[in-house]
Amino acid sequence: MAAFILIPPTIWAVSRGHETSNLSAPTNIWLGVIAAYAAFRFRELRLLIAISSSFLFLGVLEMGAQLFEANFKGASKEYTYIGDPPLGWIAEHPLVGYAFRGPARLWATATISDEVLYDSVFYSIDSLSRRRCEANLESPRHALFFGGSFAFGEGLSNPQTIACQFQSASDSIYQSYNYAMMGWGPGQAYNQLGVDELFSDIRQRSGVAIFSFIGDHIYRTTWNIGTAAEFPEFPFFRLSYSGDLDGPFKARDRWNLRFATGAYKFLRSFSPLFRLTIDPSIFRVDSDEEAVRTAARVLGAVRHRYRDRFDGEFLVLLWPRSRLSPDLEELFVQELTMLGVPVVSVPELPGEPTDAILHPMDHHPSTGEAAWVAKSLLKELH
């Protein structure tokens, strides 16, 4: 009876976005007390005392996990944006999962606890949610950049991003357009290239498209429960039993994924113990090898969409860091080569390893690494 009384309000609180972690320990302890009372009231000692002990023990564990989270768990990265417009920087988007609202002029700050990773970095976002590079009407060719935070240029001002530095290094032979966003993968590039309006202002019909690849992109292509729980519109792919590419789909499109995502979201919100002990990667439905093959197939489909739209080449840039393990990278390059997708591998930035990163606690590219990759890419193209 107690479970039926306590659980519905908890589910309601989760659905309304309320924090319910503080309810986990008292709920289990209360249920343990109820079971203990029933043991003596109804003389069902063995079963009910076992149930009572389980609930009480679980309640104590939840209290311990709650204290650990509050006092010992490492702080997570936090973002702050100020600027114009004043609200709604990142919004849910049915095409790509989420995106910056544009047009917008933002100043971004990121911190971990009291440590500032970057401070008041300028982001200029246009009406198509792209980061802007300086317009040059004389540029004969375009360069379209797709990918996640490395291509987007997290922590870098607009001129410091790989897209804008590539344009500058080319002496404006290329006009760059940055279609990347933090946390995105191949699925977003696939969906973007299917929408005419996103490319209607590009007057240069010839050029190049670059997908900046890091190892994590294979896990952003195939369904993963953490991303699905946080961003229900995020697009995923998989390979069917016959080997055909299946997607894009969202977690809500399939009842088993919708149920798993809902249960995971509820438990993460309700239980500190669940958050501390359960790794979301165990809920993945694909092996690493299958994820590599799926990501390669999606990028092959992206190339077809680009070449149907423009006169140019689509290539995959392997970023110098954040790569796959050697075996998986070999498989990935092999799959891309079979699909006819050119691959460019850029060596690491010479000098100290810290020269390539924003901050010792944030391994996104520095201005120097973005410039190095942009110039190396340009050499490969000419």
> Which of 227, 234, 262 shows the shortest CA–CA distance to 248?
234
Largest Cα–Cα distance of the chain, in whole Å?
A: 89
Instruction: Over range 241-247, report the average pLDDT.
Output: 88
Residues 153 and 233 in one domain: no
Lowest average pLDDT, out of 31-35, 69-73, 231-235, goes to 31-35
User: What's the pLDDT score for residue 76?
Assistant: 85
CA distance 98 to 119: 23
Give the confidence band of 50 by pLDDT, cuts at 50, 70, 90.
low
The number of folded domains in the chain is 3
* Contact (CB, 8 A) for 152 and 173: no
Structure-block tokens of residue 319: 């970023």
Report the amino acid identity of residue 341. Answer: V
We report the CATH number of the domain holding residue 172 as 3.40.50.1110
Amino acid at 24: S
Single out the residue in 283, 301, 326 at which a domain terminates. Answer: 283
Domain boundary (47, 71, 95) is at: 71
302 and 232 within one domain: no
Residues in the chain: 382
Domain boundary among 36, 71, 106: 71
Distance, CA of 24 to CA of 119 (rounded, Å): 37
Q: What is the pLDDT of residues 135-171, one digit of tens each?
A: 888 899 999 999 999 999 999 999 999 999 999 999 9
Q: Are residues 295 and 186 in the same domain?
A: yes
Q: What is the rounded distance in angstroms from the CA atom of residue 108 to the CA atom of residue 95?
A: 24
Cα dihedral sign, 283-284-286-289: negative
Residues 7 and 130 grouped into a single domain: no
* Per-residue model confidence (pLDDT) at position 12: 41
Residue 310 DSSP label: S
* Same domain assignment for residues 86 and 213: yes
pLDDT of 321 strictly over 50: yes
Alpha helices (H) along 72-155:
149-152
Q: Which residue has the tokens 């190339």?
A: 303
Identify the pLDDT of residue 56: 66
Write out pLDDT tens, residues 323-357: 899 999 999 999 999 999 999 999 999 999 999 99
Structural domain containing residue 55: 2-71
Mean pLDDT, residues 91-115 taken together: 91
The DSSP symbol for 231 reads -
Distance of CA 92 to the CA centre of its chain: 13
* pLDDT score of 1: 38
